[in-house]
Structure 1
């Protein structure tokens, strides 16, 4: 099934992928949803796309993975493999991450599920301004100082109101919340219908005034399959950072652009920053710095709400005008169509809204997946879409737009069916972990899944400190 899904993903974006040899099968993680299949298909599709990219650069005289001419199977294809258990554990990467033996604490005190008069609602309060928006919506004082509300205060404020009433009130205040819906309730929702006709990975050509010569834009370094590909990572919180981190594992030059005034979840920033460099640009006063980076980039990944960057002059059309041949990757929570297109969202909220948290448990209270699978799935699909667009650019020219969303990824997971999780426990992980010294201590992390001709993706540098590097690309090496 997994190999078939990978073929379908390739057909959906218009690229021919080499066959992928899949080892292992579900069940892997304790869930009624086939998370191992989902993980292996999305990570396997990325691996296959990178193999196709490496083969093309090899045809143009560059070396393949590992600094050698790529080997070929009986039919001339690279040997591409993906292991289901490895992919599934990679989807839990933040759960297994340790810095000097300490785990990541990714949740703020008020984030979580709360009982309502008719069910459950989830509040996402990891950023202070989202926390305060939720408190305003509930008629509670701001969340700082000695008199700050505690979980019991929030629970009491939720108990007498309906889940949807709280969801809408929090959204109006600029916060993040989701009522728990059943699968049937979500499928009947207008936003689910708005997403129904969207592709899982949208890849479309952008207008660019100057055009792009066919075959342009296949940079290749001497050792890594994506060596020479420059990626701007404008994202925060799992899905986008995972996409850029996955590209870095295959040798892309990834520059993460943040800003000192933007809130972060510190542990997650570190865990998703392997292989990247990090700079700070304040778009309120330094937009020209970002424009200069875009002019020399191959891929830009962003996960702001739809339209947010366009309002600052960095929409896909703007980027294509700055850099004909750019690949723009947009990641959203609920897609770019429908009433919820501009709604803030995170993996845990989309699981609630789309019926996953309802069905994964007993239906009486929410039970989240044993992984941030929508984030990791969308992240790997976004990275896959980026490489597919680079292949399309090389073959057809032009600038390209890639779109994925957590909600559309959730619909894909729903379509994969259900499995029997009786007696299923967490998988063995020790053989999938590695360590690396860093400015944050000794890091223990999950290695990236997949292999091409026996060469595995890997990161050559530890996570940097935020804003550690200048806003500039590495100088090319001879």
Structure 2
């Protein structure tokens, strides 16, 4: 059921032909979802790559994905009667700093990776990357390798075990076991891979109509005139890209409710990515938890989820289920490798997608080194999060003007393909990491005194801000707040 966006209703058509030239890749994103062309005259994008040490335009990727989300928020504000369009500015250096994910709690820097996480050479001479930051992934990988679990294991044991494995065979064995491992590929190898071919057919953001519903008028403004005031967002994401998407919507005024399971682990970065959000617990494996989610859903505008494809459908909250429960919903899905192809159900994280799709190999070549080289930030996560916020708002504008329920899809692999399309930076690897201090703000949170990078998008009329501090899971009751 449904169709991809292959039409242009009047609200989304461009106007006169003498408008200013669009901002390159941002203009392409904007036109992909058919938002009004004239809005592109109201964004400023100062700065130029390189701003971080990379041969890829990571600064541009951060700036343009965030700029798309911020400009969409300004367009929502205009649509809600905000008057003349306001200006949006996204400085490239500031946006890139936001994607570094830096924060401190009570003066202590954020935790680093598990000692087993990283790259290893295999018997075929190729490399694999193991993601072991969650205990069950770590112990599963060690068990597959025949290594002991616990504090006694070290990298030398893992290196010895992997020296007997073919990299691609280990990648497949790990996937079969539900683990998160990626073998390194070049861009050419990824482009020939069945999943690479499948992803090449997808846009960076897709929006599909999934059901009929009358247009729902956007709430009128109260005392807070921010663009997404009183827009309700259910955030069922846990790691990084999804939480960044929800955090971005919260910065623009949405009531974002992070819904966690009491039985699943979270990463320490939840203290930073939960800024601006309500935080509740519900166990969706129980009838009570599913009833709780259903009750919250009945007055939500946006439903964001990053479960493995098909997992929420098994619990009664797939796309069609949610559109039936809440006609007019904007359902936003994030995946690692896209929703089509043989890897559609495969788990993955930013670092693994970088390895599997060619970025680690390309960056290593640019650095004239043999070992895989990661990008300087988890840019696939951050850009995907901003693109989730962008797509959600584009669909929200469409719902308000013509009705319908809508499905927005983003994946790390699709974002990676988009990043590949941006210019390479010949001198980028020679850049130094710029200082973070000018971009930090310090606030009290439910986790302690939090210092983190403030949001880089600036609005001329409605400044972005996080009105709520980040708090531990389950702090709030499972009800929406009154306006």
TM-score (norm 1): 0.92
- Tell me if 1:457 matches 2:464: yes
Partner of 1:134: 141
Distance 1:460 1:106 in 2: 28
**Residue in 2 that maps onto 1:281:** 282
Distance 1:26 1:219 in 2: 40
SS at 2:409's partner residue? Answer: strand
Q: Of residues 87, 93, 112 in structure 2, which corresponds to 1:79?
A: 87
In the aligned structure 2, how far is the partner of 1:226 from the partner of 1:301? 15
Distance 1:294 1:180 in 2: 41
User: Is the counterpart of residue 34 in structure 1 residue 40 in structure 2?
Assistant: no
Q: Following the alignment from structure 1 to structure 2, what is the Cα–Cα distance between the partners of residues 111 and 426? A: 23
Distance 2:217 2:327 in 1: 10
The structure 1 residue matched to 2:475, chosen from 461, 468, 475, is 468
Report the equivalent of 2:17.
none
Any idea what SS the aligned residue of 1:89 has? helix
The alpha-carbon distance between structure 1 residues 51 and 167, as it changes in their structure 2 partners (threshold 3 A), is same
| Alpha-carbon displacement from aligned partner over 1:393-436 (angstroms, at most 9, x marks no partner) | 01110111000000010001111120021531112332211110
Q: Which residue of 1 aligns with 2:217?
A: 216
Aligned length: 452
- 1:203 match: secondary structure: strand
* Structure 1 Cα separation of the partners of residues 143 and 463 of structure 2: 49
Choose which of 253, 256, 259 in structure 1 pairs with 2:255: 253
Task: Tell me the C-alpha RMSD between the 2 structures.
Answer: 1.6
One of 177, 187, 191 as aligned partner of 2:191:
187
The equivalent residue for 1:53 is 76
Say whether 1:334 aligns with 2:356: no
Other structure's SS at 2:475 match = coil
Q: Do residues 432 (structure 1) and 452 (structure 2) align? A: no
User: Residues 149, 219 of structure 1: CA spacing in aligned structure 2 closer, same or farther, 3 A cutoff?
Assistant: farther
Distance 1:2 1:184, change over 3 A: farther
Corresponding position of 1:23: 46
Task: Provide the secondary structure at the position in 2 that maps to 1:402.
Answer: strand
Q: Deviations over 1:347-371 (max 9, x none)?
A: 0000000110111123511111110
Does the residue aligned with 1:350 lie in a helix, a strand or coil? helix
Distance 1:346 1:296 in 2: 31
- The equivalent position to 1:397 in structure 2, one of 387, 403, 413, is 403
Write the distance in 1 (CA, Å) between the matches of 2:259 and 2:417. Answer: 30
- Give me the whole-angstrom Cα distance separating, in 1, the residues matched to 2:22 and 2:48: 9
Equivalents in 1 of 2:218, 2:462: separation in Å? Answer: 24
| 1:416 aligned partner | 422
Tell me the equivalent position of 1:264.
266
* Aligned equivalent of 1:356: 359
**Alignment partner of 2:391 out of 385, 392, 407:** 385
Partner-residue secondary structure (3-state), 1:47: helix
1:80-132 superposed Cα distances (whole Å, 9 cap, x missing partner): 2111111111111x2x2111111111422221111112221011111122112
Which of residues 96, 99, 103 is equivalent to 1:97? Answer: 103
- In the alignment, structure 1 segments of 5+ residues that lack a partner are 59-63, 65-69
Where does residue 61 of structure 1 map in the other structure?
A: none
Pair 1:127–1:213, CA change in 2 (3 A):
same
More off after superposition, 458-467 vs 417-426? 417-426
The alpha-carbon deviation at position 138 of structure 1 amounts to 1.2
Residues 323-363 of structure 1 deviation map (CA, whole Å, 9 limit, x = unaligned): 00100000000000000000000000000001101111235
Structure 2 counterparts to residues 6-21 of structure 1, below 5 A: 6-16=26-36, 18-19=39-40, 20-21=43-44
Q: Give the counterpart of 2:377 among 358, 364, 371.
A: 371
Deviations 1:28-69 (A, max 9, x none): 1110000111111100001110010000112xxxxx4xxxxx
Does structure 2 retain, via aligned residues, the 8 Å contact 1:217–1:325?
no
Cα distance in 2, alignment partners of residues 412 and 164 from structure 1: 25
1:215 positional shift: 5.0
